[in-house]
């Protein structure tokens, strides 16, 4: 593999000199302190990425207005009191040779001010606020003048705190600047709207204010949607018209995304299975019309792809978000050509996006150290031990990887002929194939760390007695739950696992899937796909779910696309219905208190969750000094929990 020469060549954004072309995307972590200052957790998280070799870190949304938070813990630059904690962050990042800019924002319509302060948010016009589901009001001319002043003051503070410039978020028809610049939200008929020039007036005045307060040489990056890809929105031709105007006014680099929120959230946070490098056509088009550097974002999760984009002259810099969550060391490993050692981002959104939305701190499915960088640093074991891991699913693999890295003598046993456990099945439905990257990465890492793997070997108490480990980690996973329903053992009843594993041949006209969680929805997607073919014929799929909605355990963007596919394939969805009985060729359900019989099914497919498989821990108690049960073997959940527990146990022993 040739060296990634262009990716690791220096470049400047205005007077900001960067050591390479990899930039960390702004990502709202919610890790700040309650008062908006930078917490130790947030500093450690960014320091790890600076140390990992990234050239520039873009901090998440940083509010310029004290009454306009974006997340419950929004980092803030609306007062001089925030300068000291910012300075600690900039010093920590600079110590590792990286640069740092805050994403200066007035959240505008996206402000959580109604929740925190009972204040109605403002926008260029009265539009719906996505986060609060309330209307905002049109901002007045006096307020515009004040906000412009606030942007300048916040930029001055950023400079005083040692930041290397600022980013302005003008993309996605989102927050205040992004809403002013977009006809989708700016419906004003005064000088701040009504025409391209009118919509540009506010961002141009913000740029002037930053120059006036922070200095004309303080670099400004502008994040913009190359194309809003929405009727009534801005297309790439209009962006090509406005970009030179913005550059002339002082924008030192463009950060190119696309789409608008929330209609096209899946393009902004492109999930598993969507095209890689989703915005390069737009960055290339903007590069044609400006002389300043152009940055591109959006599922660029492999440094070799990043190099290819630069070599094709489609952008000057590469912005990576989730890939740098999955592996803070991505740049350093890429520079050394250690591509197999980079923990892969699979775009699942289950740790970084879905987690935060359900109130759990932001994390990453493949990298549980996100937000716990210091506490989860890998240190050599005080006393190397003999460690046996039973089960080669993601949790077992991660436990083995970490334990082996720490110097333990590790042997992992897997009863099947390949590693990966349930990940291998999860990779089978449409668009899910890249999930295979995770067990592949972990397997290579276990081996590189010196761990031994034995396939086709089920761990039994006898094997443990013979192996005499000091530590046994039970990661034997789960098996599909067969409900205690009349008819559940019927001939036509199969599990989603059976279907995905190819154990149940489904050349069927009609199937019903019981359970509409992620597994049920994905197996429906898979079956409708298999059958929708002129040779085999079509398979009509029905999902029955007891909750009011399906796919509730999916990340929102994955859910949007999956629901679209299910609709297109004509999958019938019955919600708020419980299955009372399974018949020979159908089911009896209860919905709204009414019983209904659905007949004519060739198969009844169970996707009702899992039960733990742990045949060992009780039997080896007292015989092995330390026994840990992790992942589904402990309690049926998801890969996110299994990998996190494997990672924690690997560090504990």
Ligand X SMILES: Cc1cc2nc3c(=O)[nH]c(=O)nc-3n(C[C@H](O)[C@H](O)[C@H](O)COP(=O)(O)O)c2cc1C
Positive/negative CA dihedral, 551, 554, 555, 560: negative
Beta bridge partners of 100: 57
Q: Segment contacting ligand X (CB under 6 A): 21-29, 198-206, 395-403, 524-532?
A: 21-29
Residue 369 corresponds to which tokens in the numbers above? Answer: 């150290």
Please state the closest distance from residue 25 (CB atom) to ligand X, in A. Answer: 3
**220 touches 165 (CB < 8 A):** yes
* Distance set, CA 435 to CA 114, 422, 516, 644 (Å): 40, 11, 21, 17
Whole-number Å distance between alpha carbons of 626 and 605: 39
**H or E stretch at 222:** strand 220-225
Question: Which residues are tagged catalytic?
Answer: 174
> CB of residue 289 vs ligand X: minimum separation in angstroms?
22
CB of residue 466 vs ligand X: minimum separation in angstroms? 47
Applying CB under 6 A, does 24 fall inside the site for ligand X? no
60: contact with ligand X by CB under 6 A: yes
Per CB under 6 A, the list member of 54, 320, 399, 644 interacting with ligand X is 320
Binding mask 267-306 for ligand X (x = CB under 6 A): -xxx--------------------------xxxx------
3-state secondary structure of 331: helix
Residues touching ligand X, count (CB under 6 A): 24
Asked if 169 is part of the footprint of ligand X (rule: CB under 6 A), the reply reads: yes
For the bound state, the minimum distance from the C-beta of residue 615 to ligand X, rounded and expressed in Å, comes to 39
Q: How far apart are CA 619 and CA 621, in angstroms?
A: 6
Q: Does residue number 110 form part of the binding site for ligand X (CB under 6 A)?
A: no
Can residue 323 be called a binding residue for ligand X (CB under 6 A)?
yes
From the centroid of its chain, how far is CA 108? 24
> In the complex, what is the shortest distance from the CB of residue 241 to ligand X, in angstroms, rounded to a whole number?
23
- Give the separation between CA 108 and CA 132, rounded to whole angstroms: 12
Closer by beta carbon to ligand X, 340 or else 357: 357
List strands edge to edge, sheet with 510-514: 493-495, 603-606, 510-514, 540-544, 572-574
Question: Is residue 634 near ligand X by the rule CB under 6 A?
Answer: no
Mark out the alpha helices in 574-637 (DSSP H runs): 617-620
CB 606 within 8 A of CB 481: yes
Instruction: Name the residue nearer to ligand X (CB basis): 236 or 296.
Output: 296
Query: Tokens 């972590």, residue?
Result: 29
347 to 366, contacts with ligand X by CB under 6 A?
352-353, 362
In 449-514, where does DSSP find H-type helix? 461-467, 496-500
Among 22, 28, 177, 284, which residue sits at the site for ligand X (rule: CB under 6 A)? 28
Q: Write out the binding residues for ligand X, residues 188-227 only, by CB under 6 A.
A: 223
Q: Would you say 185 or 299 has its CB closer to ligand X?
A: 299
Q: Is 103 in the site for ligand X (CB under 6 A)?
A: yes
Rule CB under 6 A: say whether 257 interacts with ligand X.
Answer: yes
Q: How far is CA 121 from CA 124, 139, 192, 205, in A?
A: 11, 9, 18, 21
Q: Which of 51, 322, 372, 406 binds ligand X (CB under 6 A)?
A: 322
φ, ψ of residue 17 to 5 degrees: the values are: -95, 130
Using CB atoms, what's the residue nearest to ligand X? 321
**Dihedral pair phi/psi, residue 433, rounded to 5°:** -60, -30
> Closest separation between CB of residue 450 and ligand X, Å?
32
27 lies in the binding site for ligand X (CB under 6 A): yes
The CB-of-149 to ligand X minimum distance in angstroms stands at 23
Give the residue with the Cβ less far from ligand X, 252 or 510: 252
- Which residues sit at the interface with ligand X, rule CB under 6 A? 25-28, 60-61, 103, 169, 223, 257, 268-270, 297-300, 320-323, 352-353, 362
């Amino acid at each position: 593999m040739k060296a990634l020469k262009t990716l690791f060549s220096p470049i400047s954004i205005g007077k900001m000199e960067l050591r390479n072309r990899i930039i960390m995307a702004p990502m709202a972590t919610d890790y700040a302190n309650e008062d908006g200052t930078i917490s130790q957790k947030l500093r450690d998280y960014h320091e790890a990425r600076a140390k990992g070799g990234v050239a520039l870190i873009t901090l998440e949304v940083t509010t310029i207005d004290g009454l306009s938070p974006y997340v419950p813990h929004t980092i803030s630059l609306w007062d001089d009191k925030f300068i000291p904690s910012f300075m600690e962050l900039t010093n920590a990042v600079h110590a590792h040779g990286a640069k740092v800019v805050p994403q200066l924002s007035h959240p505008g319509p996206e402000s959580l001010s109604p929740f925190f302060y009972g204040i109605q948010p403002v926008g260029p016009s009265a539009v719906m606020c996505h986060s609060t589901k309330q209307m905002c009001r049109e901002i007045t001319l006096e307020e515009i003048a004040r906000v412009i002043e606030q942007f300048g003051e916040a930029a001055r503070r950023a400079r005083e705190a040692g930041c290397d410039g600022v980013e302005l978020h003008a993309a996605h028809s989102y927050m205040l600047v992004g809403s002013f610049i977009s006809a989708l939200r700016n419906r004003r008929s005064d000088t701040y709207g009504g025409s391209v020039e009118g919509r540009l007036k506010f961002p141009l005045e913000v740029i002037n204010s930053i120059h006036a307060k922070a200095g004309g040489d303080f670099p400004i990056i502008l994040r913009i949607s190359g194309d809003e890809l929405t009727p009534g929105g801005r297309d790439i031709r209009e962006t090509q018209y406005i970009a030179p105007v913005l550059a002339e006014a002082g924008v030192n680099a463009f950060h190119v995304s696309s789409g608008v929120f929330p209609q096209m959230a899946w393009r902004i946070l492109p999930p598993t299975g969507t095209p890689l490098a989703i915005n390069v056509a737009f960055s290339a088009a903007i590069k044609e019309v400006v002389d300043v550097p152009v940055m591109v974002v959006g599922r660029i999760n492999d440094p070799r792809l990043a190099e290819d984009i630069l070599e094709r002259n489609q952008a000057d810099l590469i912005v990576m978000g989730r890939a740098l969550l999955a592996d803070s060391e991505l740049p350093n490993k890429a520079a050394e050509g250690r591509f197999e050692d980079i923990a892969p981002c699979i775009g699942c959104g289950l740790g970084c996006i879905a987690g935060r939305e359900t109130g759990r701190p932001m994390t990453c499915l493949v990298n549980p150290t996100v937000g716990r960088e210091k506490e989860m640093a890998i240190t050599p074991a005080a006393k190397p031990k003999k460690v046996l891991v039973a089960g080669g699913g993601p949790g077992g693999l991660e436990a083995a990887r970490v334990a082996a890295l720490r110097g333990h003598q590790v042997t992992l046993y897997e009863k099947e002929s390949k590693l990966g456990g349930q990940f291998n099945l999860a990779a089978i439905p449409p668009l899910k194939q890249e999930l295979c990257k995770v067990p592949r990465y972990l397997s290579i890492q276990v081996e590189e760390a010196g761990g031994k793997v034995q396939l086709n070997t089920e761990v039994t108490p006898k094997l443990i007695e013979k192996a005499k480990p000091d530590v046994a980690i039970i990661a034997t996973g789960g098996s599909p739950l067969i409900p205690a329903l009349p008819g559940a053992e019927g001939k036509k009843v199969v599990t989603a696992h059976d279907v995905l594993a190819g154990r149940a041949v489904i050349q069927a006209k009609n199937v019903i899937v019981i359970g509409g969680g992620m597994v049920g929805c994905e197996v429906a997607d898979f079956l409708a796909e298999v059958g929708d073919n002129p040779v085999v014929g079509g398979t009509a799929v029905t999902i029955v779910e007891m909750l009011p909605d399906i796919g509730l355990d999916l990340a929102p963007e994955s859910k949007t696309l999956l629901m679209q596919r299910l609709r297109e394939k004509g999958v019938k969805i019955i919600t708020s219905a419980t299955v009372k009985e399974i018949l020979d060729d159908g089911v009896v359900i209860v919905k709204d208190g009414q019983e209904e019989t659905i007949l004519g099914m060739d198969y009844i497919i169970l996707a009702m969750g899992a039960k733990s498989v742990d045949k060992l821990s009780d039997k080896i108690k007292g015989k092995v000094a330390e026994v840990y049960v992790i992942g589904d073997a402990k309690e049926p959940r998801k890969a996110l929990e299994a990998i996190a527990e494997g990672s924690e146990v690997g560090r504990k022993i």
